[in-house]
Amino acid sequence: MANAEKLQKRQDKLAAREARRESRNEAVRHGISRYIHNFNPKDKDAMWWTGAVVSAGLTGLTVATGGGSAWAKTAFVGGVSGGFYAAEKGIYTLRKKHIEKKYNDTELATKMKNLQTRHENGALRVQRLLMGVSAGAVYGGATGAAVEAGNAIINKSFELRFPTANEVKKGFEDLGNTPLKNIVTEPYGVAVDGINTVHELLTENLYEDVLTPIGHGFRDAWESEFVQSKIHTLVEFGNQVKDVAVDVTTNDFNTPEGVKRVADPVVTAIGGAAVTLFAADQVRRRNRRKTRRQTA
């Protein structure tokens, strides 16, 4: 009995430690994702570049650890903020040594702004990759996950921010070509894993994390006849999925409720994804027209 109790205690302790680790890792992932989703370099001037990237080395952690909130002040007394400041200042000095051989901060910010205008797609591709590398390395370092695993998670969420027109088109084509029976007849565990991933990536904080950074034109795009008609199509699509789900109850699921449990999130996720992509595409097209008019 004593041994059983000891074993139980040990198992409880391990489970608690694992839960603690998972909770921390999730917070790390959210912290990193928040920064990525809020980073939107489109149409920004040199002043923004100075603040966003050039001076970030010295300001980032100072804000995180000493931004004026009560906990930060407490931390400062404890010396944590001081430690961050010293570490970041050292890194910043090293970085400045490299950069200042060629440019000062103002010149560099101007160069970044001009690059964004001259080679928008090239600059976005470089930003996206380097953001993925930095986020993946920090996530991997903080959680002990392999860098590749961190990259995969971060890149997936980052990709949502800049869907290209072709990706939007392909997204809808894929949606139209999705073999519905395959979705709902997948072995239950696999289906649920897939659905959870889609859910997490596409519908979690849909408005705040994905749509807000795309631009202030979101409301117009959302209310446009084009997007509204697509929403209607998606609702119809969702109903079809449900019908199919009921038809296949005998294959992999024991009850209609079981199928519904799988089918409903699929409808939500795919619908959310497609609407997001269409709304994004609308904003993109509108901004492109605006830029063309300004250029002309």
Partner 1 sequence: MQTSNPLQKVILLLEEQGYTDDQVGDICGSLTKNAFSMLYTKAVSDFLDEDFQAIEDCASDEEANKKIMDVYTLRTGQDPYADMHIYLKAFAQTFLNQQKTI
Q: Which is nearer to partner 1, 141 or 256 (CB)?
A: 141
Q: Which is nearer to partner 1, 138 or 201 (CB)?
A: 138
Q: Is 108 in the site for partner 1 (CB under 8 A)?
A: yes
d(CA 55, CA 109): 10
Buried (b) or exposed (e) across 244-255, using 16+ Cβ within 10 A?
bbeebbeebbee
Instruction: Name which position in 9, 119, 169, 290 contacts partner 1 (CB under 8 A).
Output: 119
| 133-152: contacts with partner 1 (CB under 8 A) | 133-135, 137-139, 141-144, 147
- Convert residues 15-44 into a mask of x (bound to partner 1 by CB under 8 A) and - (unbound): --x-----xx-xxxxxxx-xxx--x-----
Instruction: Name which position in 112, 195, 234, 263 contacts partner 1 (CB under 8 A).
Output: 112
Instruction: Name which position in 90, 106, 169, 174 contacts partner 1 (CB under 8 A).
Output: 90
CB of 239 to partner 1, least distance (A): 35
Whether residue 287 contacts residue 217, with contact meaning beta carbons closer than 8 Å, is answered with yes
Which of 152, 156, 130 is closest to 140 using CA atoms? Answer: 152
d(CA 232, CA 227): 9
Instruction: Name which position in 63, 146, 190, 246 contacts partner 1 (CB under 8 A).
Output: 63
DSSP alpha helix (H) spans, 101-187: 105-118, 120-143, 147-159, 165-177, 180-185
Q: Is 158 in the site for partner 1 (CB under 8 A)?
A: no
Q: Exposed, middle or buried, 268 (CB in 10 Å: 0-12/13-18/19+)? A: middle
- Cβ atoms within 10 Å, residue 73: 13
Instruction: Name which position in 127, 185, 276, 282 contacts partner 1 (CB under 8 A).
Output: 127
Q: Is 71 in the site for partner 1 (CB under 8 A)?
A: yes
Q: Which is nearer to partner 1, 128 or 285 (CB)?
A: 128
| 222-281: contacts with partner 1 (CB under 8 A) | none
Q: Is 201 in the site for partner 1 (CB under 8 A)?
A: no
Whether residue 40 contacts residue 25, with contact meaning beta carbons closer than 8 Å, is answered with no
Q: Is 95 in the site for partner 1 (CB under 8 A)?
A: yes
Q: Is 97 in the site for partner 1 (CB under 8 A)?
A: no
d(CA 241, CA 182): 11
Q: Is 129 in the site for partner 1 (CB under 8 A)?
A: yes
